[in-house]
Amino acid sequence: MDEVAPIYWPSKGFSLRITRGSWFESDSMQPLIMDLADAIEKKHLESFRGQVIPDVPVFSETEGSKKPGQL
Protein backbone atom coordinates (compact mmCIF):
# COMPACT_ATOMS: atom_id res chain seq x y z
CA MET A 1 0.00 0.00 0.00
CA ASP A 2 1.42 3.35 -1.07
CA GLU A 3 0.96 6.56 0.89
CA VAL A 4 1.68 10.24 0.35
CA ALA A 5 2.50 12.90 2.95
CA PRO A 6 2.87 16.69 2.68
CA ILE A 7 6.39 18.00 2.11
CA TYR A 8 5.81 21.77 2.13
CA TRP A 9 4.32 22.10 5.63
CA PRO A 10 4.91 20.18 8.84
CA SER A 11 2.19 17.66 9.55
CA LYS A 12 3.20 14.94 11.97
CA GLY A 13 1.52 11.65 11.23
CA PHE A 14 -0.61 12.98 8.35
CA SER A 15 -0.64 10.82 5.23
CA LEU A 16 -3.13 9.64 2.65
CA ARG A 17 -3.43 6.17 1.18
CA ILE A 18 -3.11 5.98 -2.61
CA THR A 19 -5.70 3.75 -4.25
CA ARG A 20 -6.23 2.94 -7.88
CA GLY A 21 -9.59 2.24 -9.39
CA SER A 22 -11.40 2.28 -12.68
CA TRP A 23 -14.95 1.96 -11.33
CA PHE A 24 -16.18 3.50 -8.07
CA GLU A 25 -19.06 3.29 -5.58
CA SER A 26 -21.40 6.21 -6.27
CA ASP A 27 -22.08 7.04 -2.62
CA SER A 28 -18.61 6.64 -1.09
CA MET A 29 -16.42 7.13 -4.20
CA GLN A 30 -14.34 4.15 -3.07
CA PRO A 31 -12.91 1.88 -5.79
CA LEU A 32 -14.83 -1.33 -6.46
CA ILE A 33 -13.05 -4.60 -5.78
CA MET A 34 -10.87 -5.54 -8.75
CA ASP A 35 -12.89 -8.63 -9.79
CA LEU A 36 -16.10 -6.61 -10.05
CA ALA A 37 -14.37 -3.62 -11.68
CA ASP A 38 -12.76 -5.92 -14.26
CA ALA A 39 -16.13 -7.51 -15.11
CA ILE A 40 -17.76 -4.08 -15.51
CA GLU A 41 -14.87 -2.83 -17.64
CA LYS A 42 -15.06 -5.89 -19.91
CA LYS A 43 -18.82 -5.38 -20.47
CA HIS A 44 -18.32 -1.63 -20.95
CA LEU A 45 -15.69 -2.21 -23.64
CA GLU A 46 -17.88 -4.82 -25.39
CA SER A 47 -20.76 -2.33 -25.47
CA PHE A 48 -18.98 0.92 -26.31
CA ARG A 49 -15.65 0.18 -28.02
CA GLY A 50 -15.34 2.10 -31.26
CA GLN A 51 -17.94 4.71 -30.38
CA VAL A 52 -16.82 8.33 -30.28
CA ILE A 53 -18.13 11.31 -28.36
CA PRO A 54 -19.09 14.03 -30.85
CA ASP A 55 -17.32 17.40 -30.67
CA VAL A 56 -20.59 19.23 -31.35
CA PRO A 57 -23.70 19.46 -29.17
CA VAL A 58 -25.87 16.36 -29.46
CA PHE A 59 -29.16 18.20 -28.89
CA SER A 60 -30.41 21.32 -30.64
CA GLU A 61 -32.69 23.86 -28.97
CA THR A 62 -35.70 22.33 -30.77
CA GLU A 63 -34.91 18.89 -29.35
CA GLY A 64 -35.08 20.07 -25.73
CA SER A 65 -37.71 17.50 -24.78
CA LYS A 66 -35.26 14.68 -25.55
CA LYS A 67 -32.47 15.93 -23.28
CA PRO A 68 -31.61 13.57 -20.41
CA GLY A 69 -32.90 14.77 -17.05
CA GLN A 70 -35.53 17.08 -18.55
CA LEU A 71 -39.15 16.50 -17.56
Residue 32 CB coordination number (10 Å): 16
In a domain, 39, yes or no: yes
Q: State the total domains in the chain.
A: 1
In a domain, 14, yes or no: yes
Between residues 40 and 6, which one has the greater pLDDT? 40
In a domain, 36, yes or no: yes
Q: pLDDT at position 40, please?
A: 94
Predicted confidence (pLDDT) per residue in 22-39, tens digit: 899 999 988 899 899 999
Q: Check: CB of residue 25 under 8 Å from CB of residue 32.
A: yes
Residue 49, pLDDT above cutoff 60? yes
Q: pLDDT at position 15, please?
A: 79
7 pLDDT band (50/70/90 cuts)?
confident
**Dist CA 58 CA 52 (whole Å):** 12
**Amino acid in position 69:** G
In a domain, 19, yes or no: yes
Structural domain range at position 12: 2-48
Q: pLDDT at position 61, please?
A: 66
